[in-house]
Amino acid sequence: MKIGVDMHHGFINEDVPVEQALERAKAEGFEGIYYKSPLSISSSLDMGELKSAIDCANDMGLYIDLGIGRVNPFNTNETPDVWLLGGGDYKLAIEKMLFAAAHMGVKELVGVTAGWKEMHSGYHVYDRFRTDVTWQDQLMATTKFLKSLVPVLKETGTRINLETHEEITSYEILRIIEEVGEDVIGVTFDTANVVARGEDPVAVAERTAPYVHQVHAKDCILYFSDTGLVRQVKPPGQGIVDFEKIIKILNQHQPNLHLQVEDHKGLMHCDIFVQEWRDSHPDLNIGEVAELVKMARICEQRIQQNIYPDPHEYEKPSYYDQRNERLEHAREHLFGLLHELGKKKN
């Protein structure tokens, strides 16, 4: 396994040339970088620019991983740059990015079904709770769109790994994989996002491990609210995500995984006390919810004992004031676990 860093959550200015980003990542002890799209490397998908980037990474002994963006037809309008790439043909644009990634030798790509809409409030920050179209209809449309990409996915030898993002559950991703095919669709396991959907990270690792081909590594703590639980993001090793257990589980199936540190700040609600929220999660597992409640109780005790800082005080400083300390802790924690577990190749 290798440990890299996500380029889109405060690690470095996204406009920095890829060569400088690689140098920064290597200097800080990471083994690779992740971009959400090949467009982040070359806005025109210029094959010369793409080859130059991957050659630079190879020369430095690093990897570059990529995402493919949104695959839910009901929110692709939120990425106009992709539409422009395809001249108004979104499917063509995605196919172009698949060929571009394959040209770079990047075969395991991250796909997302929505994005966080911070300008909205309440449940409407999630596409899951849209009222103009049901979440089930969105999942059906996503599945149909992914099926339309199968010929190009097979031609390029690429796979779209759907992220356990803020809006989708691991159960829903597994059903899409079953319908489209595990040779072309897999899982990007975000270790803390699943908590916001009422899922226990270790349980998610156990049921998705055969299909996990990318990992976004981040941690969190939980505490109680009037409506249920609140998830606060932490760097790996500073929260309740059991990375040791998760790595052991994933290693049984994918020993060469890339773990991208995706570090940022923020709160997210898991409203298990609210009927509307529970009704929108038909796969909710009482055992996993109970595990999250237990974790929240432990976290609150640790807050009272000053083992964890007060969540509200912790959020006040900007991410950039804490960035270096957070990333250093994440890197040391994950590398330490890999060495301890004997999963690190010399």
pLDDT in tens, 123-132: 888 999 999 9
Q: What is the pLDDT of residue 11?
A: 81
pTM: 0.95
pLDDT in tens, 251-286: 999 999 999 999 999 999 999 999 999 999 999 999
Chain-centroid distance of CA 309 in Å reads 25
Ordered by where they begin, the domains of the chain are: 2-341 (3.20.20.150)
Tell me how far apart the alpha carbons of residues 137 and 61 are, in angstroms, rounded to a whole number: 44
Tell me how far apart the alpha carbons of residues 157 and 14 are, in angstroms, rounded to a whole number: 28
Cβ–Cβ under 8 Å, residues 194 and 204: yes
Whether the pLDDT of residue 8 is over 80: the answer is yes
pLDDT band at 9 (very low <50, low <70, confident <90, very high): confident
Residues 6+ apart with CB under 8 A from 287: 200, 203
| Angle, alpha carbons 74-277-261 (nearest 5°) | 65
